[in-house]
Structure 1
């Protein structure tokens, strides 16, 4: 059974990852490809947070699973937005060269 503390810590880590990703996304829309490392790092942190939720949900009670599920949906939705931003340094105008 997941402890309340472990769920709270996981949710906090997820919120931190989401906040960092939002900052990088905002920066990515303005500065195009100047911060590719940070953008990729933010995407990786979001993916790690999603994986942490999946693992923790296996030992969570129903209320905890619901909290984790909502956070996972937020993370995955933002993850999709990041992918769609076209922040690929090898592309120009949305098309690969």
Structure 2
């Protein structure tokens, strides 16, 4: 059984990952942060948070699973947005060089 503290800590870690990833995403859209190390780290943080949520959900009660499920959806939505952001340096204006 997941403890309340473990769920709270996981949610906090997820919120931190989301905040950092959103900063990097915003920076990437405004400044064309192509293949930036921080962007990659943010994506890895989101992926780790998703895995943590999924692992913790296995030992959570129904209310905790619901809370973790909503967090996972937020993380996956952000992950998808980050993946879809055109930040490939080999393309400028949508054309390959």
Q: TM-score with structure 1 length normalisation?
A: 0.92
Q: Is the 8 A contact 1:43 1:82 kept in 2?
A: yes
For residues 37 and 86 of structure 1, what CA distance do their matches in structure 2 show? Answer: 15
RMSD (Å) for aligned C-alpha atoms? 1.4
- With over 3 angstroms needed to count, the CA separation of the structure-2 counterparts of 1:76 and 1:96, relative to structure 1, is farther
Q: In the alignment, which residue of structure 2 is the partner of 1:49?
A: 49
- With over 3 angstroms needed to count, the CA separation of the structure-2 counterparts of 1:3 and 1:95, relative to structure 1, is farther
Could you tell me which runs of 5 or more consecutive residues in structure 2 were left unpaired when the two chains were aligned.
none
Q: Is the 8 A contact 2:17 2:49 kept in 1?
A: yes
Q: How many equivalent residue pairs?
A: 97
Report the Cα offset of residue 44 of structure 1: 0.6
Deviations 1:9-64 (A, max 9, x none): 00000000000000000000111035711111101100000000010000000000
Q: In the alignment, which residue of structure 1 is the partner of 2:27?
A: 27
For residues 11 and 80 of structure 1, what CA distance do their matches in structure 2 show? Answer: 19
Q: Where do 1:56-71 residues align within 5 Å?
A: 56-71=56-71
